[in-house]
Chains A and B, each alone.
Chain A
């Protein structure tokens, strides 16, 4: 693996399986009464969050603590783009404190890349979501969840070790334009052999999406019957307002054309699962009856997030125990 995790594109097939298999191993910890390993004792992991994200921060924090790392939470919330200089100053501060890994969430696309390549810090950088760019650990936990649900029976998680997602059909629905989750998932799922279809109204596809390793569609109904996985992306209501870009006319129309409700869920094959990275807009992109159904993996995704992030921190930090990044 590379010395940072900035993009899902950084992961080869081999790297991705290593993370997923390691996560599977570490997940067994969660079933024990004492959920802690001494692996990263004495190492410092900083959660550097320039943007609110309680669930992602808590997930990384739990992951680091279960590996016995010291965790520092640094919330620079409220820092506007105009005060961008603070990224550098914050980085220099963290460097001075001796951070071994920096988990960064930032509103600006590329901020983790900047952090990793500007010479401001030496530690490993993990992208925990940057602007409308990427969110690679989300893609890893999604792949982990798919693998568990699709590649083995209930409770047979160990049977998934070493398997990828070859031939699995994944339909990702919603605001692709602004979604870092969609970008990372397309890249990682492609690496793992899955066939990805993106579904959105034309206004919510980025220019150039045709070059991505996936196919696109404007018609959700036409994709459901052949999907092994349907992943619903969060769609912010503000996007319909003129000030928010006017991407669609109303929440009602969006929901009618692209929301996953009971009728659409019934069109899915029996084994298909429904995913959502959270936080959900119930009644907008996903109906409550779908979110709460047996197909929904939404709660599992949260649990799996901790295992996957443990694996990422473990692999990035344990290989470079002499202080120099590999």
Chain B
């Protein structure tokens, strides 16, 4: 296996140093310009920030079933270009990833693609229907070694079913990732319920529908002594509940998407379905609360909820459109804009929220570890001073539904290393 010297990399934004990577491991870190190794490939990392490879807890790769929107190959290529070395592939495929067979298939497709590690998420209930537990143990024991279970797209709304799932996964150190959405309160919901939904005549998705489920589930998790992870937290009220639950010492973690850190519900005034997402974009006050919660650790992780949709599913009227946005190739840039450039997080904080903590939540070994000698070389190099205009047609994803099209975002991923092997170099997929 090749040897690489990353020259002048600023680890977590610190002073420049040289990082020597050999056989998939960081073997030396020395002062900038002082490290050389015969036969080593030199990567000019001058001015670049080195972070541990990013880990996404929430990715829709759409395969099997909707290969017109995304495949494991295209989705993981997008992930690598976004600086990710591991993604959790959500279970709402067709067929649903509710058996060992399906999760192993997705895992294997990920291995064959080789752009990043793919950790399948198993469905909590058979067919995401919410009525019968899927064979969680079989998925945990499979080659895919599933540890995160979620009916994402649907809420495990039945309280008894949620209780059983929380209890059951304790046997193999699993975690239930809840898509918190009270279904009755959100029937036909189109956008955040607030001043704008009334004016626009779009049916409201009230924040209380998320908050009520989170409140119930943190209490349930505490009651049965299990771990709970909350997907795509979107409201200030949810943050309050999570902060309270954490103050009790309960094993509750949560994620926020990049788009909920940057975008607000007033984009719905365009009626352009590229801004239609579930949970919906909310108000500026919610965005502020989410940023503060991510900064103080109440929210543990940034997770993309990368949701590719075909052109036909978005090029229509709002009510008819699918919900969801692309995220993998813009996540780090959005976090830089929303968190780093606002002074809320430094690069060490970004590494913690986008790599270390999500890896821990997903029970991923060799990801999210500190960049030090002896560590597995999962590394991303980002140029924080670069800016780029997001072009949906230049993305590796098979779909184009990015809400950031035409927007100038800071930060460009220059290189991504997966176990010492570059998946991206000079900003290009290898």
Contact = CB atoms under 8 A, between A and B. Distances in A.
Interface of A: 81-85, 87-88, 106-111, 113-114, 117-118, 130-134, 180, 183, 206-209, 211-212
Contacts of B312: 85
B201 A209 contact: no
Contact of A84 (B195, B200, B271, B316): B316
Nearest to A206: B198
A189 to B, nearest CB: 15
Interface in B196-226: 196-204, 206
Interface string B262-274: 0000000011100
Contacts of A110: 200-202, 271, 317-319
B316 A209 contact: no
Contact of A208 (B197, B272, B321): B197
B193 A84 contact: no
A13 to B, nearest CB: 20
Contacts of A132: 201-203
A113 B196 CA distance: 15
Nearest to B194: A208
Q: Tell which of A108, A134, A180 has the most Cβ of chain B within 10 Å.
A: A108
Nearest to A178: B201
B198 A208 contact: yes
Contacts of A130: 201
B272 to A, nearest CB: 8
A82 B320 contact: yes
Nearest to A80: B320
Contact of B319 (A131, A183, A211): A131
B315 interface: yes
Contacts of B204: 206-207
A109 to B, nearest CB: 4
Interface string B172-209: 00000000000000000010011111111111101000
12 contacts: A81-B319, A82-B320, A84-B317, A88-B316, A106-B317, A109-B271, A110-B202, A110-B318, A117-B271, A208-B194, A211-B199, A212-B199
Nearest to B273: A114
Given A81-B319, A109-B318, A110-B271, A208 B196 contact: yes
Contacts of A87: 316-317, 320
A88 B199 CA distance: 24
A108 B199 contact: no
B197 A113 contact: no
Nearest to A111: B317
Given A85-B312, A117-B270, A108 B198 contact: no
Contact of A207 (B194, B317, B318): B194
Contacts of A134: 201
Given A84-B321, A114-B318, A207-B197, 17 more contacts: A84-B316, A85-B316, A106-B317, A108-B317, A108-B319, A109-B202, A110-B202, A110-B319, A111-B318, A131-B201, A131-B202, A133-B202, A183-B199, A206-B204, A207-B193, A207-B204, A208-B193
Q: Tell which of B271, B319, B321 has the most Cβ of chain A within 10 Å.
A: B271
Contacts of A114: 271-272, 316-318
A84 B317 CA distance: 6
A162 B102 CA distance: 71
A222 B231 CA distance: 48
A110 B318 CA distance: 7
Contacts of A85: 312, 315-316, 320
Q: Tell which of B190, B199, B202 has the most Cβ of chain A within 10 Å.
A: B199
A71 to B, nearest CB: 24
Nearest to A9: B199
Contacts of A206: 197-198, 204
Contact of B320 (A84, A117, A207, A212): A84
Contacts of B196: 208
Contacts of B194: 207-208
Contacts of B320: 81-85, 87, 108
Nearest to A110: B271
A221 B206 CA distance: 32
A110 B201 CA distance: 8
A109 B196 CA distance: 13
Interface string B256-294: 000000000000001110000000000000000000000
A113 B193 CA distance: 20
Interface string B10-25: 0000000000000000
Contacts of A209: 198
Nearest to A180: B201
A208 B204 CA distance: 11
A229 to B, nearest CB: 22
Nearest to A120: B315
B195 A211 contact: yes
Given A84-B321, A207-B193, A133 B316 contact: no
A84 B321 CA distance: 8
Contact of B199 (A82, A113, A117, A208): A208
B203 to A, nearest CB: 8
B206 to A, nearest CB: 7
Contacts of B197: 206-208
A204 to B, nearest CB: 12
A88 B318 contact: no
Contacts of A208: 193-199
A132 B193 CA distance: 14
B198 A207 contact: yes
A300 B312 CA distance: 44
Contacts of A117: 270-271
Interface string B305-334: 000000010011111110000000000000
Nearest to A205: B198
Contacts of A82: 320
Q: Tell which of B195, B318, B320, B321 has the most Cβ of chain A within 10 Å.
A: B320
B147 to A, nearest CB: 36
B310 to A, nearest CB: 11
